[in-house]
Chains A and B, each alone.
Chain A
Amino acid sequence: EDQVTQSPEALRLQEGESSSLNCSYTVSGLRGLFWYRQDPGKGPEFLFTLYSAGEEKEKERLKATLTKKESFLHITAPKPEDSATYLCAVHSGGGADGLTFGKGTHLIIQP
């Protein structure tokens, strides 16, 4: 059974304090790993897709990286508007829809 574990569950940072969120996965044949941002009461907003180990993607203060067992979402010099829940999902061909979501990391950036 495919598994996706995100850590930490919650993270509180000061504005400008860089950190990383982790997404560990156990799947049978990774076909894609996705990062989303979700604000309260809204749908997840797509951020990045990673397909193979060693791949990196960047967008503003965010950078996503992928290894064979985990992905990291690095946040550099975050601002309060980066506060959100960050979700990781993997597609392996297993699971009812082929996509397994983690439970997310709730990130709070304090000014």
Chain B
Amino acid sequence: EAGVTQSPTHLIKTRGQQATLRCSPISGHTSVYWYQQALGLGLQFLLWYDEGEERNRGNFPPRFSGRQFPNYSSELNVNALELEDSALYLCASSLPATAVRTPLHFGNGTRLTVT
């Protein structure tokens, strides 16, 4: 069974540019989550999509946005890049969220570097 796949693995952008990161979930998973992991810090929740809709977002500015496609894949867009956006961006997928939560399965991330 293929795991969560993310592309690209590395992305280098200049301050002020836009970045687009992509994620394909595990087959059968309808929920997709995005997390930011800056160097030395914990996982910070960005966005949660389920069945094509944004269910919730973390404490990040509106220039962080995304969407989920009918095939449940997702993309994360970061506009007006700032130096502090440099981080590992992780995508995770899971079965639909219920009262009993099934685990998230993570991809290996996209390393975004803003210069």
Q: Which residues of A contact B (CB under 8 A)?
A: 31-32, 34, 36, 41-46, 49, 51, 87, 89, 91, 95-99, 101-104
Query: How far is it, in angstroms, between the C-alpha of A43 and the C-alpha of B26 when the chains are bound?
Result: 14
Asked if B97 and A98 make an inter-chain contact with CB atoms under 8 angstroms apart, the answer reads yes
Query: How far is it, in angstroms, between the C-alpha of A46 and the C-alpha of B104 when the chains are bound?
Result: 7
A contact patch SS: loop
A43-B4, A43-B106, A43-B107 known; A99 vs B45 contact (CB < 8 Å): yes
Query: How far is it, in angstroms, between the C-alpha of A92 and the C-alpha of B56 when the chains are bound?
Result: 15
B100 at interface, CB cutoff 8 A:
yes
Which residues of A lie under 8 Å from residue B4 when comparing CB positions? 43
Further pairs besides A43-B106, A43-B107: 12, Cβ < 8 Å:
A32-B100, A34-B103, A43-B90, A44-B106, A46-B104, A46-B105, A89-B104, A97-B45, A97-B58, A99-B104, A101-B43, A103-B42
A-B CB proximity, top 5 nearest: A43-B106, A91-B101, A32-B101, A103-B42, A101-B43
Asked if A97 and B33 make an inter-chain contact with CB atoms under 8 angstroms apart, the answer reads yes
Pick from A34, A103, A104: contact of B104, CB under 8 Å: A34
Which residues of B lie under 8 Å from residue A99 when comparing CB positions? 45, 101, 104
CB neighbors of A among B56-110 (8 A) = 56-59, 88, 90, 92, 97, 99-109
